[in-house]
Structure 1
Amino acid sequence: MVNVDAMLADLRALVEVESPSGDVGAVGESGRVVASVIERNLGGQARLIDSPAGPHVHWSGGGTPRVLILGHHDTVFPIGTLARRPFTVQDGRVLGPGVFDMLGGLIQAIHGVASLDDRTGVEILVTADEENGSHSSRALLEERATACGAVLVLEGAGEGGAVKTGRKGCGTFEVAIRGRAAHAGLEPEAGSNALVEAAHQVLAIADLNRPDIGTTVTPTVASAGTMSNVVPAAATVTVDVRVESYEEKARVEAAFAALTPRVDGTEITVTGAVTRPPMPESASAELFAIAQRLRPDLTGIAVGGGSDGNFTAALGIPTLDGLGAVGGGAHADHEHLLLDTMADRALLIADLVTAIKQRPND
């Protein structure tokens, strides 16, 4: 059994330590609170592993590693959000920055594991930089996932509580254009217009879309120019990319590398890649089958967003995602967690851990 009031108290403790990704001081304090919540509920020592992004938190139940519970304690909301959106329980919803993505999932996992008499073989890793791309945590989470051989990811659930059985690979590209400035009235022909070049490139980039096979290539941010009477000498275009297959990852990356200028006198520099590889549904099939045996009404969904599950799945490690909070509004002011789902979601983690540990060792 789990105690929902105790879960809410622990969730409040996490939410009220704001932890915007990239703010090392704030994330540092958040990591210490996460460690204290783990130790109070599970015993043992939760290690703080220093990194340039802030501390990652690691706990082990001892014994041979069998299952990794993976989450993150950084959030996207800037310091001061809590004053505007304080932790609140209202009309069956738990509100506050980070309750859905993904502090609620962390608390459910901790209390789920705490309900087990035997916690050996279980590891919990809570990273500090998932929202910024997991640059400092990727090697660590891949190491622990490989050691454990099965991964449960505590990102928020899909619609209706669905777990996430597949994810697109995702990445960001930046196209930087260098032109030549000139007076826009006296001698515009003496310049090389980086903004016009950017327009050509945006259209070429948009043509890379293949939504019929799950590929989206979306220019999202552009900037150019300095003054209304100056031919722009520089421009940048930022592009979000999502793909379902490694073949599409290769195609899109090659297309960005092959971009060429159309305006005389301009130069193009492209940086970026599809940094989170696709998580195919085959990576979750074994664990999803176990989950459905435990909860026959549980559904699965493939989604466009990425998570650290993309990295573990790419290693061939069975990975099931979306096991965290049931609610919605990730990264938005209406973020929420449904109170009446917390207990069962915690027990689902406990049941999955038990079932995974009962699998034959390879």
Structure 2
Amino acid sequence: MLADLESLVRCESYSADHAALARSAEAVGALGARLLGTAPESIVIDGVTHLRWVFGTPRVLLVGHHDTVWPTGSLEARPWSVTAGIARGPGVLDMKAGLVQMFHALASLRTLDGVCVLVNGDEEIGSPTSRELIEEAARGSAAAFVLEASGDRDGALKTARKGSSRYEVTVHGRAAHAGLDPEKGVNAAVEAAHQVLAIAGIGAAVAGGAGSTGVPGGTGATGVAGDSAATGGGAGTSTVTPTLLSAGSTPNTVPARARIAVDVRVPTSAAQDHIDTLLRGLTPRTPGARLEIQNIGGRPPMEPGASAELFALAFRIARELGQGPLRGIAVGGVSDGNCTAAVGCPTLDGLGAVGAGDHADDEYVEVASMIPRSRLLAELVTRTLR
């Protein structure tokens, strides 16, 4: 498994580098072909390479991605290494170790009949070219297992994920010479300042009212954690955050246009709809200014009900395998599991590697966890196929 992991980590796969993604897909495909006994179908959409294996009539979907957030060349500064049971390298946790564990888990099964494996190449940028493939596969499946990294260093599974939406608020003003006749202009930068404060106010308001739209707290008999174990602003908390801001064209011109990017995270579909209404209700404060508000993409929330039965099964299996009490947590980040759950497919996420530092310089995987995690996944697939 370590040799396979090394081969994938050394093959860089930055989401924006389509040539690197093609090389990575070839490496992942070769690994899967060796362990599963058949080559994948290679699907190239808008230059991005995805891989799919289908065995019989699919009933269980396994989802992973081979792209990473690390620009090509990052391997030189963050080389592959294994020291004292810790593996490091770009994408080692998110999520090349998860792919290795998945292939080895499937290779241990007596039959793959009923399994579909989908490995996409654009998850880190929102799966724009693969989302339709993922949703199509999920609609026909009884369960989806997502090989993203575990929820914490103890190997918790991800039983709920916030949904995400990205908005762009464009302020339309009117240009004028900043020195000669600024009064003839409509300053889009000034209006943008008003809107940033208004958007932050929406964020404060919905965070304060999280209780009506949040995830139930408490810990059940199966070990599913509520808000106390959540990450990403709290499992039941919606967040609305103005992020990127730009305005103007030259230093001596009243800005005619400004743009505000807004990041929205929500625990439920109802909260997502509510915030959409609030953002679309923004109104200009500067006379003559006009607002244009666009939702430019995102993923729906993966609510706790989507994972409840699968987590209960995983909890029993982990106990039988002597892996200790398994916990489930809600997290703020999104994955393709949001999409499989949204089309009605029961989904369990975070079945990949155990470690920490995904997207960070200290990204690592605990090597000792790789075989136990593979055994857990293998038994999950086996029992779900029965």
Q: TM-score, normalised by structure 2?
A: 0.88
1:169–1:274: 8 Å Cα contact kept in structure 2? Answer: no
The answer to whether structure 1 residue 278 and structure 2 residue 294 are counterparts is no
Q: Deviations over 1:56-92 (max 9, x none)?
A: 10113x2332211101111111111011111111222
Give the corresponding residue for 2:199.
205
145-154 vs 302-311, which deviates more?
A: 145-154
CA distance in 2, matches of 1:53, 1:158: 31
The answer to whether structure 1 residue 331 and structure 2 residue 359 are counterparts is yes
Q: Deviations over 1:176-206 (max 9, x none)?
A: 1122222333322111111110011111111
Give the corresponding residue for 2:257.
234
Deviation at 1:53, TM superposition (A): 4.4
Give the residue type in structure 2 aligned to 1:341: S
Deviation at 1:308, TM superposition (A): 0.6
Deviation at 1:324, TM superposition (A): 0.6
Q: Deviations over 1:195-218 (max 9, x none)?
A: 110011111111222224111000
2:168–2:296: 8 Å Cα contact kept in structure 1? Answer: no
CA distance in 2, matches of 1:137, 1:167: 19
Q: Deviations over 1:159-192 (max 9, x none)?
A: 1210000001101111111222223333221111
Give the corresponding residue for 2:232.
none
Residues 174-185 of structure 1 mapped to structure 2, 5 A cutoff = 174-185=168-179
CA distance in 2, matches of 1:275, 1:332: 22
CA distance in 2, matches of 1:148, 1:278: 19
Give the corresponding residue for 1:167.
161
1:253–1:274: 8 Å Cα contact kept in structure 2? Answer: no
Residues 92-171 of structure 1 mapped to structure 2, 5 A cutoff = 92-159=85-152, 160-171=154-165
Give the residue type in structure 2 aligned to 1:142: E
CA distance in 1, matches of 2:40, 2:252: 59
The answer to whether structure 1 residue 221 and structure 2 residue 244 are counterparts is yes
Q: Secondary structure at the match of 1:50?
A: strand
Give the corresponding residue for 2:349.
321
Give the residue type in structure 1 aligned to 2:272: K
The answer to whether structure 1 residue 294 and structure 2 residue 287 are counterparts is no
Q: Secondary structure at the match of 1:294?
A: helix
2:144–2:346: 8 Å Cα contact kept in structure 1? Answer: yes
Q: Secondary structure at the match of 1:120?
A: coil
2:79–2:88: 8 Å Cα contact kept in structure 1? Answer: yes
The answer to whether structure 1 residue 243 and structure 2 residue 242 are counterparts is no
Q: Provide closer, same or farther for how the CA distance between residues 227 and 64 of structure 1 changes in structure 2, counting only shifts above 3 A.
A: closer
CA distance in 2, matches of 1:167, 1:192: 41
Q: Which ranges in structure 2 are unaligned for 5 or more consecutive residues?
A: 211-236, 320-324
Q: Deviations over 1:113-143 (max 9, x none)?
A: 1111222212211011111111211111111
RMSD of aligned alpha carbons? 1.4
The answer to whether structure 1 residue 268 and structure 2 residue 294 are counterparts is no
1:340 to 368, 377, 380: 368
Give the corresponding residue for 2:335.
307
Q: Secondary structure at the match of 1:148?
A: coil
Give the residue type in structure 1 aligned to 2:158: K
Give the corresponding residue for 1:196.
190
Deviation at 1:264, TM superposition (A): 1.8
The count of corresponding residues between Structure 1 and Structure 2 is 351
Q: Secondary structure at the match of 1:333?
A: coil
Structure 1 moving runs of 4+ over 4 Å: none
Q: Deviations over 1:247-306 (max 9, x none)?
A: 111111122222222112222222225631111111000100000001131100001111
CA distance in 1, matches of 2:29, 2:57: 22
2:139–2:344: 8 Å Cα contact kept in structure 1? Answer: no
Q: TM-score, normalised by structure 1?
A: 0.94
Q: Deviations over 1:298-353 (max 9, x none)?
A: 10000111111111111111100010111111111111111111110111110111
Q: Secondary structure at the match of 2:202?
A: coil
CA distance in 2, matches of 1:148, 1:224: 47
Give the corresponding residue for 1:52.
46
2:17–2:72: 8 Å Cα contact kept in structure 1? Answer: no
Q: Deviations over 1:206-251 (max 9, x none)?
A: 1222224111000111111234433222211111100111111111
1:19–1:73: 8 Å Cα contact kept in structure 2? Answer: yes
The answer to whether structure 1 residue 77 and structure 2 residue 73 are counterparts is no
Give the residue type in structure 2 aligned to 1:77: W
217-226 vs 34-43, which deviates more?
A: 217-226
Give the residue type in structure 1 aligned to 2:105: G
